[in-house]
Amino acid sequence: MTTPETRPAAAVLLMLFGTAFLAMTTLLAKAIGAGHLGDPLHPLQVSHGRFLFALILFAGYALARRQRIRNPNLRWHGARTLCGWGGATLMFAAAAQMPLSDATAISFLSPVFAMLLAIPLLGERVGPVRWIAAGLALCGMLVLLRPTAGAFQPAALLALAAAVSMGAEAIFVKRLSGREPPLQILLVNNMLGLVIACLAVLPVWQAPTPAQWAGLAGIGAAMAVMQICYVHAMRLADASFVVPFSYATLIYAALYDAAAFGVVPDAVSWIGAAVIVAGGVLLAWREGMRRRDPVPPVPPVPAPVPEPRGHAPGE
């Protein structure tokens, strides 16, 4: 029987709703970075807008709830934010130069890189099924890279670097989860991210047009909605059940790209994306099985056998 704490249908709807907004961020980043709303803005400036407007929303929500920041682990927050800022910036740069479906599919490699990084950073052991899933996803990446002289997409390397960065971010999020409230994690992340983005954008800053300001605000708002949906979806169902639905981002990205820019994914794109998704779903399934594996019982400690009472010398 479904309990109020476990609601799979609601979790799926939240994830599908959130992924639509996640794909919207890359659509707006492409419109801004490719010059469809004015002179092209540098990816560093797009990333700055993402953190600025997301922080405004999260800060307003935190004030309404009177959320206090208590004992944040600034070292882990700083590492997580640096990786997240780098991943977002690289992803926005890739989205401006290549089909959104390809950039999105390559970004789905982040769980694979998180798994690989967890070996040296978290001391995790990786079994054969997880290695097969990782290998499958990496094969899909090679298809999307189109490693031939005439078809190679240099921008795909930006999306690949974004996936590595986001995979590293997941490691630090794992360190923080359970130690700090979710809203505090999001709030501190966006505060530190805005500081980093403000410093990085100074050399390339240019005054955005009104349409670009609206696009930047849309990126920040869409990212905030996506993060809220993701957090709540993970609370309502097992991660292994919910995470595969995040791949709907690929469908949204393809639809947005076709509707806004007339870019339709070719057969190579769909094949590469399908292989990456297959690897990701297999990895999510295996993660769920690992969580369900019963913990071997600890053998009971035998009770000490009382020594026979004897007579003390001299009695």
84-131 pLDDT, tens digit each:
999 999 999 999 998 998 888 888 888 888 888 888 877 777 788 888
17, with CB counted inside 10 A (0-12, 13-18, 19+), is middle
Residue 205 contacts residue 46 (beta carbons within 8 Å)? no
Q: Which residues pair with 26 in a beta bridge?
A: none
Output the pLDDT for position 31: 95
Structure tokens at 95: 């989205």
Mean pLDDT of 27-47: 95
Output the pLDDT for position 152: 67
Q: pTM (2 decimals)?
A: 0.81
Mean pLDDT of 67-95: 93
In Å, how far are 49, 220, 260 from 29, measured between CA atoms?
10, 11, 12
Structure tokens at 94: 């890739």
How long a stretch of residues is the chain?
315
Instruction: Give residue 195's pLDDT band: very low, low, confident or very high (50, 70, 90).
Output: very high
Output the pLDDT for position 3: 43
* Whole-angstrom distance, CA of residue 211 vs CA of residue 132: 46
Output the pLDDT for position 273: 87
* Whole-angstrom distance, CA of residue 78 vs CA of residue 175: 12
Residue 107 contacts residue 91 (beta carbons within 8 Å)? yes
Output the pLDDT for position 293: 55
Mean pLDDT, all residues of the chain? 84
Output the pLDDT for position 156: 86
Q: How much of the chain exceeds pLDDT 70, in percent? A: 87
Instruction: Give residue 244's pLDDT band: very low, low, confident or very high (50, 70, 90).
Output: confident
Output the pLDDT for position 150: 60
pLDDT over threshold 70, residue 309: no
Q: Where are the beta strands (DSSP E) in the chain?
A: none
Q: Which residues pair with 177 in a beta bridge?
A: 180
Mean pLDDT of 133-153: 76
Output the pLDDT for position 227: 83
Q: Which distant-in-sequence residues (6+ apart) come within 8 Å of 35 by Cβ?
A: none
Output the pLDDT for position 295: 45
pLDDT over threshold 90, residue 68: no
Output the pLDDT for position 158: 93
pLDDT over threshold 50, residue 48: yes
Structure tokens at 276: 């990456």
Instruction: Give residue 151's pLDDT band: very low, low, confident or very high (50, 70, 90).
Output: low
Output the pLDDT for position 307: 54
Please state the φ and ψ torsions of residue 52, each to the nearest 5 degrees.
Answer: -60, -55
